[in-house]
Amino acid sequence: MLVHVTLDESPVLIVPDLSFRAGKGFSPELRRILLLLAVVALVLISCGLPSTSTPVTEQVTDASASPAASPSATANPAAQAQSALVVTYIDVGQGDAILIQSPEGENVLIDGGPDSLAYRYLSQLGVKHLSAVVATHPHADHIGGLPEVLRNCKVDAVWTNGQEYTTPSFEDFVDAITASGAKYYEVQSGNTIKVGSLAFNVLSPGAKLYSDLNESSLVLRLQYKNVSFLFAGDAGETAEAAMLKSGQSLQSTVLKVGHHGSNSASSAPFLRAVQPSVAIWMAGVNNDYGHPHRETLARLAQTGAKVFGTAVDGTIQVFTDGDRLWVKTAAGPTTEITIRR
Ligand SMILES: [Zn+2]
């Protein structure tokens, strides 16, 4: 089991046992064959295939761009937007899984959805290395898919709120962290998760966790030049009120709507403080909870934000160079969003 530790200022690092990781290298024979295959592949690529690298600005006007729902090697958004930060709200049905890709090539995953869909998306994109995996809270629709990610990708570090849960999916998650050799951190508001040039500020929860697991969700804010992202996990009105009271800056260009668009989250005062230009809710088609709730959609509409949802739009991608912002849905074109300042 992971040890629950109360934090003062700096994150707690728990280094799991690494002994299981003694791996085998390739034999010289296999290495020669792989090298030969790589050379042949390089020759073929340089001879026949067009470049897939297209700047964001060109992609906007490219009506033939491939949809993002089923990524392929040629539809890799990071390759198409090398100077951009790309945030992908992966359609995992009823659950959250968000991939953040920095222009420098760092990958961060916030939550892993309920099952293997998140890993399948990563592998189709060719993502094999994650600098950080964040679990907002231990419910299965957020951590259920993380063990598969941890077992198949190289993960440098895992960040959680430290809250434990007595479910098979949580036990599986803990086992997978230990077996992966990833560093393990527990964080709270005031801490910062640094990944290359990216810095995620933890806004919630504080030192005292809520008994309601949803309310204890890690809420992160990422500032990228003049554009900011708020990732609200399943935090609801209680956590929102505490964040408002704390005086932390909540204003964010793009809001990942809390708790799948539940009416128990996205209170009007919270939305007024966030002032999103884009709001994205993540929920499954015809889910058992009626997410997103009608009242929440009405409050989101009142903010004037452009609203997207995975049950309607499929996988949603946001591209930004830090000043301008584009949104691409699985079936739709890439459209530039006017940012409210
Ligand atoms: Zn959830």
Helix (H, G, I), strand (E, B) or coil at 238: helix
pLDDT at 81: 53
Averaged confidence pLDDT in the chain: 83
Give the distance (Å) from ligand 1 centre to CA of residue 96: 7
pLDDT at 51: 33
Domain ranges of the chain: 12-16+29-337
Give the distance (Å) from ligand 1 centre to CA of residue 260: 6
pLDDT at 82: 59
Q: Is 78 left (phi over 0), alpha (psi -120 to 50) or beta?
A: alpha
Is residue 29 predicted with pLDDT exceeding 60?
no
Give the distance (Å) from ligand 1 centre to CA of residue 139: 7
Which spans in 65-185 are helix H? 77-80, 117-125, 140-143, 146-152, 168-180
Is residue 33 predicted with pLDDT exceeding 50?
no
The pLDDT-based confidence of 55 (bands split at 50, 70, 90) is: very low
- Residue type, position 158, single letter: V
Of all helices (H) and strands (E), which one includes residue 129? Answer: strand 129-130
Asked if 246 and 254 touch (Cβ cutoff 8 Å), the reply is no
Its pTM stands at: 0.79
Give the distance (Å) from ligand 1 centre to CA of residue 110: 12
pLDDT at 322: 95
d(CA 251, CA 270): 10
d(CA 277, CA 164): 35
Give the distance (Å) from ligand 1 centre to CA of residue 82: 31
Give the distance (Å) from ligand 1 centre to CA of residue 234: 5
Is residue 9 predicted with pLDDT exceeding 70?
no
Give the distance (Å) from ligand 1 centre to CA of residue 142: 6
* pLDDT tens digits along 35-53: 444 444 433 333 333 333 3
Give the distance (Å) from ligand 1 centre to CA of residue 278: 20
pLDDT at 21: 30
Give the distance (Å) from ligand 1 centre to CA of residue 211: 16
- Give percent above pLDDT 70 in the chain: 76
Give the distance (Å) from ligand 1 centre to CA of residue 212: 12
Which residues are found with C-beta within 5 Å of the ion, ligand 1?
A: 141, 234
Q: What b/e sequence results for 230-251 when a residue is b if at least 16 CB atoms lie within 10 Å of its CB, and e otherwise?
A: bbbbbbbbbbbebbeeeebebe
Give the distance (Å) from ligand 1 centre to CA of residue 266: 14
pLDDT at 70: 42
What CATH code is assigned to 12-16+29-337?
3.60.15.10
Lowest mean pLDDT among 8-12, 242-246, 319-323: 8-12
pLDDT at 217: 98
Give the distance (Å) from ligand 1 centre to CA of residue 315: 17
Give the distance (Å) from ligand 1 centre to CA of residue 216: 12
Measured between its terminal Cα atoms, the distance across the chain in Å is 46
Give the distance (Å) from ligand 1 centre to CA of residue 95: 5
* pLDDT tens digits along 176-229: 999 999 999 999 999 999 999 999 999 999 999 999 999 999 999 999 999 999
What is the average pLDDT across 61-80?
A: 37
Looking from the CA of 157 toward its CB, the CA atoms found within 13 Å total: 18
Q: What b/e sequence results for 4-41 when a residue is b if at least 16 CB atoms lie within 10 Å of its CB, and e otherwise?
A: eeebeeebbeeebeeeeeeeeeeeeeeeeeeeeeeeee
Helix (H, G, I), strand (E, B) or coil at 13: strand
Q: Which residues pair with 195 in a beta bridge?
A: 198
Give the distance (Å) from ligand 1 centre to CA of residue 94: 7
* pLDDT tens digits along 253-312: 999 999 999 999 999 999 999 999 999 999 999 999 999 999 999 999 999 999 999 999
Query: φ and ψ at 168, to 5 degrees?
Result: -55, -40
Q: Which has the higher per-residue pLDDT, 15 or 263?
A: 263
d(CA 337, CA 35): 45
* pLDDT tens digits along 104-120: 999 999 999 999 999 99
